[in-house]
């Protein structure tokens, strides 16, 4: 596959992208530095390392993408790699419509002005986003990152460069429960992961969007899977599809951010949080991004 270049918008926040993909200091599937990002993934069964190099570190205007594949990629697989690059770089949701929508809002107006150009960075594939959401359910971030690394090493495949490729559904479906529970996964979490992998690998739960498989249909199918609830679905839609109107009212950090902004002594409960966020539809994903960012404000570069 030939290298390709993606244009980056003005005020592109490269730091946010690199920070998201380098959350695991011992990462086996990502290699991140200020100058480049290398991501291992399985595309149509082929181990692939996607290397992304911005033209500048301080104010990048484009990113060159080089694909290192351990096998031949079909035209459809090549398109999947391009789609993965858009997700990895957070280019699916334009933040400006929400900034304009919330410009005069008492709560989000100041947030958007404080964090201009804030974007939602995504996982390389929908399956990666969904499995990460399951892994991260009801545990702290450091433990979730550790379990994610274990999952990659148990179900992924190693690229010829040495970098590991995040598992695809077919690879994960080959695992046994004990492969995970013997490595600190709870039985419920392991069962949910393998249940999802089996359904996706068999084709019973297609994740590709099409005229006959809308985002609403995917959401309903995911909710029907034992162990997957509304938070997991919404987080998966956010990180996997770049869906612009995800309601993260079940997210503890979202509720903590609202508590701080409202100046209240306790977090708003989920029904009230859902009601608050509903005011910002169809931009609830960017609302969530700004609420998360408000907990860890970053000075302008």
Whether residue 237 is predicted with pLDDT greater than 50 in this model: the reply is: yes
Whether residue 301 is predicted with pLDDT greater than 50 in this model: the reply is: no
> Quick one: 4-94 is in which CATH superfamily?
DNA-3-methyladenine glycosylase AlkA, N-terminal domain (3.30.310.20)
Region 135-149: mean pLDDT is: 93
DSSP assignment of 197-212: HHHHHHTSS--S-BTT
Model confidence at 296, pLDDT cuts 50, 70, 90, reads: confident
Domain boundaries, the chain: 4-94
d(CA 296, CA 33): 21
How many residues appear in the chain?
Answer: 301
Check if the beta carbon of residue 43 is closer than 8 Å to that of residue 73.
yes
Whether residue 299 is predicted with pLDDT greater than 60 in this model: the reply is: no
pLDDT at res. 23: 92
Check if the beta carbon of residue 268 is closer than 8 Å to that of residue 262.
yes
pLDDT at res. 300: 44
Whether residue 180 is predicted with pLDDT greater than 70 in this model: the reply is: yes
pLDDT digits (tens, 9 = 90+) for 259-280: 999 999 999 999 999 999 999 9
206 in the Ramachandran plot: left (φ > 0), alpha (ψ -120 to 50) or beta?
beta
d(CA 67, CA 80): 12
Q: Across 22-130, where does the E strand assignment appear?
A: 30-32, 37-43, 46-54, 62-69
Model confidence at 138, pLDDT cuts 50, 70, 90, reads: confident
Model confidence at 133, pLDDT cuts 50, 70, 90, reads: very high
* Dihedral sign from CA coordinates of 59, 64, 68, 72: positive
């Amino acid at each position: 596959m030939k290298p390709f270049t993606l244009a980056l918008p003005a005020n592109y926040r490269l730091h946010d992208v690199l920070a998201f993909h380098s959350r695991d200091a011992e990462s086996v599937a990502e290699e991140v530095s200020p100058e480049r990002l290398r991501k291992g993934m399985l595309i149509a069964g082929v181990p692939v390392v996607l290397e992304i190099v911005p033209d500048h570190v301080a104010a990048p205007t484009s990113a060159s993408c080089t694909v290192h594949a351990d096998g031949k990629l079909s035209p459809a697989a090549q398109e999947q790699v391009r789609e993965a690059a858009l997700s990895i770089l957070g280019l699916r949701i334009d933040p400006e419509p929400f900034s304009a929508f919330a410009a005069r809002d008492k709560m989000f107006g100041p947030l958007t002005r404080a964090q201009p150009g804030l974007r939602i960075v995504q996982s390389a594939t929908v399956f990666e986003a969904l499995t990460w959401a399951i892994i991260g359910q009801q545990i702290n971030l450091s433990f979730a990152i550790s379990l994610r690394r274990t999952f990659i090493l148990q179900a992924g495949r190693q690229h010829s460069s040495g970098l590991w490729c995040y598992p695809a559904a077919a690879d994960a479906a080959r695992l046994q429960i004990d492969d995970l529970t013997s490595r600190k996964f709870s039985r419920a979490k392991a069962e949910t992961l393998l249940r999802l992998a089996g359904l996706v690998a068999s084709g019973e739960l297609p994740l590709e969007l099409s005229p006959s498989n809308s985002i609403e249909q995917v959401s309903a199918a995911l909710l029907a899977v034992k162990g997957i609830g509304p938070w997991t679905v919404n987080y998966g839609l956010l990180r996997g599809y770049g869906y612009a109107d995800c309601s993260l009212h079940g997210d503890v950090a979202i509720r903590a951010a609202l508590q701080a902004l409202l100046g209240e002594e306790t977090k708003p409960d989920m029904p009230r949080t859902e009601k608050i966020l509903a005011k910002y539809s169809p931009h609830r994903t960017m609302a969530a991004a700004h609420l998360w960012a408000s907990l860890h404000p970053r000075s302008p570069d």
